[in-house]
Structures are given as C-alpha cells and as structure tokens.
Structure 1
C-alpha cells in the first residue's frame, strides 16, 4: 500500500527506531509513547485490521515475538500489556495491523 505509513517503514522509506526485525515482522518504538516502554509490532505484509488477519502462522508469530521483545526490553518478568485496536470505535488510527507492547510502569484497569 503506497500511502500506508507502516508499509513505508517496512520499505525503509521512513526510518523508525527499530528494536526487532525478522522476515515477517517489524517492531519499533512508538513516537508518542504511553508508557516507558511502548513498542509497535507489525506484520511486514499489509493487513489492514485484526479482522483481516487470516494467517494463523503469522498471528502466532506476532504474539511469540512480542514475548521475546518484552524479555529483551527487560519487562517480561514484571509484566506488560499488549493492545490491538481494531477499526475506528476500537481506537485504530493507522490501518495496518499493529500490536502495542506497553510496559515499564504499573498498568491500571479499565484500560479506557
């Protein structure tokens, strides 16, 4: 998708602060962090929303990678939160599936 912000990051047209990358995913620091650790994990393949994710292998890889990234960031033991916003009422702003990894502080509930 030529106008997708995250696709431009995957294509290296825009340089995010990358913390992890492999053949299927890209993970980078959020430019407007909501916690001391706030990383976005995206599939390199354009998938607009969680409703459009039909590849179970990719879904599993995303989640396993989040756990590895949390460990590498030093927040796995104390705890972290993962968030996937879906469509406008769910708070999604960029229509390229992304998972928020938040940690480094006590999270409260309800999330909002």
Structure 2
C-alpha cells in the first residue's frame, strides 16, 4: 500500500533512490515478547511472534501477535540487522558482557 507519507529517502551507492512510505493512518505496531515457532524451506521463512496473555492454572498462555513470512535472503538480512543492533547496544547503550548476553539468549532459546 503506497501512501503520500514519505518516512525516509536515500540514494544508494549505485545511484538508486530508495523511498520508504508509511500507512496513511499510522503504521501497525506490535509488542512482542518472544518467538515461538520457526519454519524454513526453500521458498522462505516463517516466524510466529507472540505476547504473553494472562497465565492460568494450566501454565503460561501465549498469543500469536503476528506471523512474519519472508524470503531466505530477507531473513539473513534481518538476522544481520539484529546482530548489528545487539553489538550497538553492547557498545553504546547498556553494559552487557558476553556471558550475560549468552545467558539471555539461552534463556530465550529455551522458550521456543
């Protein structure tokens, strides 16, 4: 959906103009607490992103907030983006040593 709400414009190294447009009424925003479910195949990747609902006596209730579906190239690009942002956070935002990051990542991996 193309709108007249230009968010970002940049000229790439090869001279191509890249423009990012937003939805006229605002862009959807989802609060995500984790990833539960991952499927990869030759045509792409799907991830179920969830939020935690109210817990009951049976245990934790997870609710799918959205499902991301993308090409393998897009997934690799997104993974690199997250790795770069984690490095930025470690260097500039908070003090997380490697052991703490590994523990946090291991804790999240156990959620899947």
Does the alignment reach a TM-score above 0.5?
A: no
Higher relative contact order (CA 8 A, sep 6+): 1
Question: Is the radius of gyration larger for structure 1 or structure 2?
Answer: 2
Larger fraction in helix: 2
Larger fraction in strand: 2
Name the TM-score class by shorter chain: under 0.3
User: Normalised by the size of structure 1, how large is the TM-score?
Assistant: 0.27
User: Normalised by the size of structure 2, how large is the TM-score?
Assistant: 0.27
